[in-house]
Structure 1
């Protein structure tokens, strides 16, 4: 079993950097985005460099990721972990060192008391925002300015990975994700279709598949009529829907 989140991601990329690791669908917009392990790792490294080199954050600090399941959310969550920082998930607001949210949530930002605020519209093709809320920076525009490789200090199993809603170390997240993968019937090599509405927590849609060596087809606004064809087209072996 892996003992840190970056270790699990690195293993997935080394196993096969070119095959799809995370494929995103939004049936409300028609968006489909496919990320190989190497492409996802690139976004993760850029995000980690943004946090460390751009914002000057370091171990022990906390980043609120208040975004729904999405491939950009995966890149940010994994980037926070790569940088040795901890994640605060949606829930009770608390002071944090940086936050990521959608423009629609901008009114909630003050409650989190973060100086550094990033917004993303989670738009197709990682398009930038047409209008950036006051006091925010556009994540997909700014992150492109940072390096493709992260050279920060290695994360340890005891490093804090989650700050809230409960506090968990990297090792605890990996153990929880391994147990959850077993409950969901996910094993190594599986291609897992996940309904984002039914499984909104990152332990389920991100970390559980990652820790056992599975790839993900993550679907927002999943249309039941498209399920069978998508399962066939994406060579899905496990379906997790409501």
Structure 2
């Protein structure tokens, strides 16, 4: 569903913005085209395989609970599905766990994400975890799982959503809205999403005007 749609989006409309992300905590703005987003997904999917995690085995995305609308969370969700892996938004005991900054929980294999606007790693290596910065060493190769892509989120298949051709603004969306309206809908169509987290109401209004986005 998502991965096939993303490949089609890259082929027909790869260069324009797909996701624009604002973080009120540090004032950053990150813009990802479909090509750039797909590249992050491919590299992350290859990292999952390189870490020895089997296709089809669940992945615990703790960052989906702590940072549900971050663009890195959306990349990890898509990459897990590309490997045929169900996504659990939390900690359920999966062999592979993905955490955000300051999260000390660990599993058999843990990847820690700094969530730096430019994707940079931690100043000091995270104890007991792989720094997500290692993703930069992965090849830019699309490697789909022979099992096919997963659509499982928290134990249930994600329902198809209507394609969107609009540019919309989501302010502090929960994980479900970030995934459906923020990623699945625009990927299926020609739309794009502006996601703003931790911004004041007046800043959200100015972002909508600056980005020419309709607030949902």
TM-score (norm 2): 0.88
Q: Are 1:32 and 2:41 an aligned pair?
A: no
136 and 84 in structure 1: CA distance in 2 versus 1, 3 angstrom threshold: same
In structure 2, the residue matched to 1:142 is: 134
TM-superposition CA deviations, 1:113-144 (whole Å, max 9, x none): x31101112112212111333111110x2000
What is the rounded CA distance, in whole Å, between the counterparts of 1:65 and 1:163 in structure 2?
10
| Structure-1 separation of matches of 2:146 and 2:8 | 15
Task: Provide, for residues 48-104 of structure 1, a one-character-per-residue CA deviation record: whole Å limited to 9, x for no partner.
Answer: 11111x1223332011111112111111111111122111112xx322121111132
| Residue number among 189, 211, 214 corresponding to 2:188 in the alignment | 211
**1:33 to partner: Cα distance:** 0.5
What residue is the counterpart of 1:83 in the other structure?
83
- Where does residue 164 of structure 2 map in the other structure? 188
- Secondary structure at the aligned position of 2:151 is classed as strand
Pair 1:6-2:7 in alignment: no
Write out aligned runs for 1:12-161 (5 A): 12-52=9-49, 54-67=50-63, 68=67, 69-90=69-90, 93-106=91-104, 108-109=105-106, 114-139=107-132, 141-153=133-145, 156=148, 160-161=150-151
Secondary structure at 2:215 match in 1: strand
CA 1:160–1:71 in structure 2 vs 1: closer, same or farther (change >3 Å)? Answer: closer
Name the Cα RMSD after superposition. Answer: 2.0
2:18/2:186 contact within 8 Å kept: no
Higher helix proportion: 1
CA distance in 1, matches of 2:56, 2:76: 17
Residue matched to 1:184 = none
Q: Decide whether the 8 Å contact of 2:171 with 2:197 is kept in 1.
A: yes
| Gap change, CA 1:28 and 1:153, over 3 Å in 2 | closer
SS of structure 2 residue aligned to 1:18: coil
Count of aligned positions: 210
Cα deviation for residue 177 of structure 1 reads 4.0
Could you tell me which runs of 5 or more consecutive residues in structure 1 were left unpaired when the two chains were aligned.
Answer: 182-186
> In structure 2, the residue corresponding to 1:79 is in which secondary structure?
helix
1:154 Cα deviation from its structure 2 partner: 5.0
Structure 1 residue 28 displacement after superposition: 2.0
**Partner Cα distance (1:191, 1:56) in 2:** 38
Q: Which runs of 4+ in 1 moved over 6 A?
A: none
Query: Could you tell me which residue of structure 1 aligns to residue 174 of structure 2?
Result: 199
